[in-house]
Amino acid sequence: MSRARIAYRLVLVLAVNVLCTHIYAAPLAPNATIAAPGEPDPTGGVVQAGTGIAVPFASPAGPGSFSGTLTTTVRAGDPSNLLGGLTFTYRITNDASSASAIERMTNLNFAGWLTDVSYQTPAASVAPTSVDRDASSSTVGWSFSALGAGVIPVGGSSALVVIQTNAPAFAPINANIIDGSIAIAPSFGPVPIPEPASLALLGIGLLSAGALRRRRKR
């Protein structure tokens, strides 16, 4: 076999591998809504310290009140994350003592970062129906609809929902659990990208500090 044919076959194999790897990708653009895709992600990685703990939440008391837990896990080095950054996973449980099902969750602080969204398959418990992102690109929302896979029932839990990103660091940030009323749950999201104005102020501060050092040296 000629070297040209060997090279051609190698290129073909690599192309097929890339296509197979990317077939599960579900990028979520700002101001977009997509049907929630099921994927086998995450496939590994290192759980970051302080994450992966079930944290309780509760909505304001009332006829349709609910309570439960939110578990947020942050992974670095997830082999299935094609974006190369951190992978964030979330799972909701709805207490057996709740008076209402849960229909929605929103996760914050994703502005400026690329995202690939999914729920883990095979799905344990209720899978989300759709995933959306607001126009600012900061908020990623998961809807559990009675017209689709179903709401998260009293005493039930959600499938593991996944946001893969190119973000290199994470920070504490609240999530919103929603069903008529809103419960705020401690969670994690990417470290925000500084706004242009903040970057300008930082630059001015660094220049001022440099000028001050030069004056002291004189």
Whether the CB-CB separation of 126 and 203 falls below 8 Å is answered with no
Smallest CA-to-CA distance from 165 within 186, 193, 194, 143 is with: 193
Neighbours of 22 (CB within 10 A): 10
* Residue 211 φ then ψ, to 5°: -65, -40
Among the CATH numbers 1.10.3470, 2.60.40, 2.30.30, 2.40.50, which is that of 27-193?
2.60.40
Residue 23 confidence (pLDDT)? 43
pTM above 0.85, yes or no: no
> CA angle 163-31-103, nearest 5°?
60
Tens digit of each residue's pLDDT (9 = 90 or more) over 50-65: 999 999 999 999 888 9
Coil, strand or helix at 199:
helix
Coil, strand or helix at 125:
coil
Residue 11 confidence (pLDDT)? 34
Tens digit of each residue's pLDDT (9 = 90 or more) over 134-188: 999 999 999 998 766 689 999 999 999 999 999 999 999 999 999 989 999 999 9
Residue 4 confidence (pLDDT)? 44
Tens digit of each residue's pLDDT (9 = 90 or more) over 26-35: 899 999 999 9
User: Which residue ranges make up each domain of the chain?
Assistant: 27-193
